[in-house]
Amino acid sequence: MIVVALTPNEIHLAASHGLLRRYEKLQGKRSDRVQKERSNWDNEIEGACAELAWAKHLGVYWTGVSGLKAKDGADMEVRWTKHEDGGLIVYPHDDDRSVFVLAKGFAPEFRFVGWLRGAEGKSVGRTTDFGYLVPATSLRPME
């Protein structure tokens, strides 16, 4: 497991991007993720913070870009869950070759608990109405 802490300025930067994502979702401009119910702002804000934390760990610039095919750092995609026992979601439209990293925790500190490629997630994940849910125990360990 990898643990990364963000500074207040880093949280502010990521939260700003999260607010823009939320606004786009409320305007119907973000339909890349199916949700069963209306979420709170945490999904976009904490998710953006987790992405920035991953980029910080890698030592790469985080653009904050969102949407399909936007990478979160070094051609990897971060998926954040608010659930301590939560897993990694892989969507049917996700690239089979992309690397997906699962983040847990809340700003300012995130834990990166495992990873896998899209094709692996689609083969080992439990099929749901939104895609594939891979338990954290089925992920490759962080090295």
Torsions phi, psi for 57 (to 5 deg): -60, -40
Local confidence band at 7 (pLDDT 50, 70, 90 cut-offs): very high
The pLDDT of residue 36 is: 55
Q: What is the mean pLDDT of the chain?
A: 87
**In contact, 96 and 117? CB cutoff 8 Å:** yes
The pLDDT of residue 68 is: 45
Distances in whole angstroms, Cα of residue 122 to Cα of each of 36, 77, 105, 118: 20, 15, 24, 6
Mean pLDDT, residues 45-66 taken together: 89
- Judge whether residue 143 has pLDDT over 80: no
The amino acid sitting at 82 is K
For residues 117 and 64, the model is more confident at: 117
Mean pLDDT, residues 95-110 taken together: 96
Q: Is 30 helix (H, G, I), strand (E, B) or coil?
A: coil
